[in-house]
Structure 1
Amino acid sequence: MVIGVLALQGAFIEHQKSLAACGVESIQVRKPEQLDGIQGLIIPGGESTTMGKLMHRFDLFEPIRELGRRGVPIFGTCAGLIMLAKEIAGSDQPRLSLMDIEVERNAFGRQVESFETDLMVPDLGEEPLRAVFIRAPYIKSTGNNVRVMATFDDKIVLARQDNYLVAAFHPELTDDIRLHRYFLNMIK
């Protein structure tokens, strides 16, 4: 199994380390042809408007959309969540529009208001999941086919729809690889 990690900006190396800890090979994706043959894709955190500009420059929008439409699992964290959303509150920035969610950017405040907390994620067991929020978005609303997996302060921060998984936080910045394992299990 080979997982692609979009490597235009953000914490892509940390995602690769989490995948390696799961015993899985990964490749950095910067061009459409690097999507060929992967079994899953992670879109990491970063700055979503910059990420959108870079995805446009490298002609990645349509190939990633096609990957998702074919049922290949895609995991978006922080900015990756924003990129997968159909709607971004108050913004017309480029996005993949693959997941039936509306998101609010920078919903928990500025960089200096970043924080860590424990989340209860029943799909991952009884042990809380440590979540790192950095200028994080949250999901304002979901379509009927979106399953909410975790909330924080009544805000949706982890959700799944078919082959799409999104987290408002950065699971790659902790040693807990359960969410990456969950994503990998979506492939099998």
Structure 2
Amino acid sequence: MTIGVLGLQGAVAEHINQLESLGAHGVIVKTPEQLEQVDGLILPGGESTTMRKLIDRYGFLEPLKQFSKNQKPIFGTCAGMVLVANELSESTDAHLQLMDIRVKRNAFGRQKESFEAVLEIKGLDTPFSAVFIRAPYIETAGNNVEVLATFDGHIVAAKQHHILTSAFHPELTGDTRFLQLFLNMVKEATQAIPK
């Protein structure tokens, strides 16, 4: 299983390390052509407006939308959650518009308000210690969106069909179970998509 990590900006190496620890092949995606070589894609944390500028500069916008149309799984963490949202609460300019969610950026405060929280996550047997850094949250979610975790009354992890999002950074913990949920999605998708 080959998983790409969009390598424009953000926590790329940490995702690659966690993928490799689970036996998946991790690839840093720097060109749109590389999307054809991966079974699933991680949009890492970073700075969403900077990432959007780089997506535009390197011609990623339409190829990323096509990747999603092909039902290939996408996992957006933190800024990645902002990128996949259909709507942003303070802006009329949503990015990839792949998931029926409305996201509030930096919703838990700035860098100094980063924190850890223990979450009950649907699909995991025991609680998950999540790292939040300038994290967004989901304000509203459509009927097709499955809420996986909430914190303080706000949605911080969700799934819609082949798209998974988290407001926290699972790659910054030693706990690989949330990433494994994504790898399970990729495995199911590769079995369902005829080669």
Query: TM-score band (shorter)?
Result: over 0.9
Q: Report the counterpart of residue 61 of structure 1 in structure 2.
A: 61
Once the two structures are aligned, what percentage of the paired residues are identical? 55
Q: Report the counterpart of residue 150 of structure 1 in structure 2.
A: 149
Q: Deviations over 1:77-130 (max 9, x none)?
A: 0000000000001113451000000000000001101000110113111x1111
TM-score (norm 2): 0.94
Q: CA RMSD in A?
A: 0.8
Asked if 1:161 is matched to 2:179, the reply is: no
1:157 alignment partner AA: V
Q: Report the counterpart of residue 9 of structure 2 in structure 1.
A: 9
Question: For 2:136 and 2:23, how far apart are their aligned partners in 1?
Answer: 30
Question: For 1:80 and 1:40, how far apart are their aligned partners in 2?
Answer: 14
Question: For 1:13 and 1:92, how far apart are their aligned partners in 2?
Answer: 32
Asked if 1:175 is matched to 2:179, the reply is: no
Matching of residues 24-103 of structure 1 within 5 Å: 24-93=24-93, 95-103=95-103
Q: Which ranges of structure 1 fall in alignment gaps of 5 or more residues?
A: none
Say if 1:78 and 1:167, in contact at 8 Å, map to a contact too.
yes
Say if 1:82 and 1:105, in contact at 8 Å, map to a contact too.
yes
Equivalent pairs, count:
187
Secondary structure, in 3 states, of the residue corresponding to 1:81?
A: helix
Say if 2:85 and 2:94, in contact at 8 Å, map to a contact too.
no
Say if 1:140 and 1:155, in contact at 8 Å, map to a contact too.
yes
Question: For 1:93 and 1:54, how far apart are their aligned partners in 2?
Answer: 16
2:42 alignment partner AA: I
Asked if 1:128 is matched to 2:127, the reply is: yes
Secondary structure, in 3 states, of the residue corresponding to 2:157?
A: strand
1:29 alignment partner AA: V
Say if 1:132 and 1:171, in contact at 8 Å, map to a contact too.
yes
Question: Quick one: structure 1 residues 86 and 94, their matched pair in 2 at CA, closer, same or farther if it must change by over 3 Å?
Answer: closer
Q: Report the counterpart of residue 139 of structure 1 in structure 2.
A: 138
Question: For 1:90 and 1:187, how far apart are their aligned partners in 2?
Answer: 32
Question: For 1:90 and 1:174, how far apart are their aligned partners in 2?
Answer: 30
Q: Deviations over 1:26-75 (max 9, x none)?
A: 11011101111210000000000000000000000110110111100000
Question: For 1:123 and 1:94, how far apart are their aligned partners in 2?
Answer: 29
TM-score (norm 1): 0.98
Say if 2:88 and 2:94, in contact at 8 Å, map to a contact too.
no
Say if 2:119 and 2:150, in contact at 8 Å, map to a contact too.
yes
Q: Report the counterpart of residue 118 of structure 2 in structure 1.
A: 118
Q: Deviations over 1:3-37 (max 9, x none)?
A: 00001111011000110111110110111011112
Say if 2:5 and 2:26, in contact at 8 Å, map to a contact too.
yes
2:123 alignment partner AA: D
2:177 alignment partner AA: R
Say if 1:52 and 1:93, in contact at 8 Å, map to a contact too.
no
